[in-house]
Amino acid sequence: MSYLILRLKKKLIFRLNLSAIVPDKIKNKQNNLKNINIFYGNEEKKLSDFFSFQGKLNKGIVFKGNLSKCDYIGDSMKEGEIIVNGNVGEYLGNKMENGKIIINGSSGNFTACSLKGGDILIKKNVGDYLGSPNQEEKIGMSGGRVFVQGHAGNRLAFKMRAGVIFVKGDVKNYIASQMIAGTIIINGKIGSNLGLLMKRGTIILKKKCILPSCFQYSGKNNYLFLKIYQFYLEKLNSEFKNIFPTNYVTKFVGDISCAGKGEVLILN
Amino acid sequence: MIINGIKIENTFAEAFPMKAVRLIITAETKYWVLKAVESMTGFATSVIACGCEGGIEKEMKATLTPDGRPGASVLLFAMDSKSLAKQVLRRVGQCVLTTPTTACFSGLESNEKISLGQSLRYFGDGFQISKKIGNKRFWRIPVMDGEFVIEEKTSIVPAIGGGNILILGSSRENVLKASEIAVKEMNKVENIILPFPGGIVRSGSKVGSKYKNLIASINDVYCPTLKGLTKTNLNKEIESVLEIVIDGIYQEDIIKAIKKGIISVCRKSNKGILAISAGNYGGKLGKYHFHLRKIMT
């Protein structure tokens, strides 16, 4: 078997910190998995108190069960895969550097916090502060790719520095506040207050919307880089086929209140 | 060795190590691609005085380019990386950036990188935008027709310059016709260019001169009008010689091009052609030797 399968065997009352259960952190501890310490609330417990084990860690870890109170999955991950067949808690992929995480459910707040590299795919919804900084960090996501097939919450890409976020559904308010750079692509509707204090970076919107007054109209033109981006995304996932049917789009620049040079490109 | 009445001389072409870069230029239409690449490689026949040697390697269909538009790949060669890097920036900056609707991409990957958009981005005067797509960075420079997209860096690879064949015949007309046919066939080979105008050079040179300041001068032993004055390599019947110079990335492709050139002359245009030879310096200067008879067996 290529994956180590961890099945949650009890209902959680407090939050469970799974930051220690990452492929590169446990690959040398496979003989002693049961005794790995994890925090349940503010108490240190053994991994075997919560999970049953099956298989061997070759490619990665598969979590089964309702992990909506399990936080820090994929924390600082450097290699391998994590697959979760269900929902997960907060801080998914926190400071992740490489590897792949697939969530066959929804993810909580602070997903892809300070993400540096790798891929995160969330098949349902995601909470607030996707791609934002960790509490002690000055910048948010600085690399990697996050794909959300459902909806996202507030404060998406807060202080984002690099990387790409794609949201297939709708996004709530305060997208890309203080964004520094990177690319956000939103298929669905957006909430209010997009791009406040945005310095640079690109937001691509598939649907027409009303932008805040701090964004100025900058004409319509052909943006060739969209085609290059499309070819790149198509290679990652066939779902991105023809994601930008045209590269003749409307551009807004802002946030002009802080001399920002961020751009919002609207496809329709 | 004689093929279809044409003597293949028992000699070799002597070629030298060089450095090369491949760039892919795209534009909205094939017309503008060709305008850009012809301009870029226009004054690039010889490192003697052009700074580099360059040519259009091949035209590219839209489905094969990084941005899905018509394109062409261009090869530039120089004696060292520093000179090549300088020429790349000048030519892209003055000839590609200026052409309507173009974009410029790296066409090769190696560990030796040189600046492309990384230097040219400053033309955007602070309005340029960087975009990292995958593990490559692109620069979007605002221009009057929209944006010029250029990859940040390109790569330099070791290459070979100076492979050649000489076509010797009884009249200028016959030799020119044979050379044109040879060039047409040789241009089908990838990873090579024929840097001279139309792929053919009529003024093949030798190293040195009676004039102290000249590094090269006419290859007098192949000049038909000097038969009486010099230690000529031409017999009575030869009245014209043309040279085709080949620069390439790989030896195998230069060999392929030489073979295609010789075969096309021997089979399709042998009227009035008496011999095919090659230029060398006694084998003492160049690292690469392309023996004609060995290639044709």
pLDDT, tens digit (0-9, with 9 covering 90-100), for B19-44: 999 999 999 999 999 999 999 999 99
User: Taking CB atoms and an 8 Å cutoff, what residues of chain B touch A222?
Assistant: 146-147
Tokens encoding B207? 């190293």
**pLDDT tens digit sequence for A4-15:** 999 999 999 999
User: Taking CB atoms and an 8 Å cutoff, what residues of chain A touch B117?
Assistant: none
What pLDDT score was predicted for residue B208?
Answer: 86
What pLDDT score was predicted for residue A163?
Answer: 95
What pLDDT score was predicted for residue B4?
Answer: 87
* pTM summary value: 0.91
Question: Which region among A135-139, A150-154, A158-162, B19-23 has the lowest average model confidence (pLDDT)?
Answer: A135-139
**β-pair type (B146-151, B136-143):** antiparallel
Which residues, 6+ apart, have CB-to-CB distance to A220 below 8 Å?
A248, A249, A250, A251
Residues of chain B where predicted confidence (pLDDT) is lower than 70? none
In SS3 terms, B186-224 reads as HCCCCCEECCCHHHCECCCEEECCCCCCCCEEECHHHCH
Could you tell me the domains of chain B? 2-14+160-296 (3.30.70.520), 18-157 (3.30.70.520)
A111 touches A100 (CB < 8 A)? no
Mark yes or no for CB contact A162/B68 under 8 Å.
no
What pLDDT score was predicted for residue A92?
Answer: 97
SS3 B159: strand
User: Taking CB atoms and an 8 Å cutoff, what residues of chain B touch A162?
Assistant: 132
What pLDDT score was predicted for residue A137?
Answer: 87
User: Taking CB atoms and an 8 Å cutoff, what residues of chain A touch B132?
Assistant: 162
Distance CA B215, CA B202 (A): 18
Question: Which of the four pLDDT bands, split at 50, 70 and 90, describes residue A210?
Answer: confident
What pLDDT score was predicted for residue A94?
Answer: 95
**β-pair type (B216-218, A262-266):** unpaired
Q: Which of B24, B28, B69, B133 to mutate to test the interface with A (most CBs of A within 10 A)?
A: B133
A175-197 mean pLDDT: 95
Distance CA A175, CA A165 (A): 11
Cα–Cα nearest to A183, from A198, A173, A197, A196: A198
A228 to chain B nearest CA, in Å? 5
Question: Which of the four pLDDT bands, split at 50, 70 and 90, describes residue A1?
Answer: low
Taken as a whole, chain B contains a residue count of: 297
Which residue in chain A has the smallest CA separation from B65? A228
Q: In chain B, where does DSSP find H-type helix?
A: 30-40, 81-91, 117-120, 172-186, 251-268, 292-296
Amino acid identity at A55? G
Decide which of A238 and B257 is more confident. Answer: B257
What pLDDT score was predicted for residue B161?
Answer: 94
DSSP state of B92: I
Q: Is the ipTM of this complex over 0.95?
A: no
**pLDDT tens digit sequence for A33-56:** 889 999 999 999 999 999 999 999
What pLDDT score was predicted for residue A31?
Answer: 86
B98 to chain A nearest CA, in Å? 16
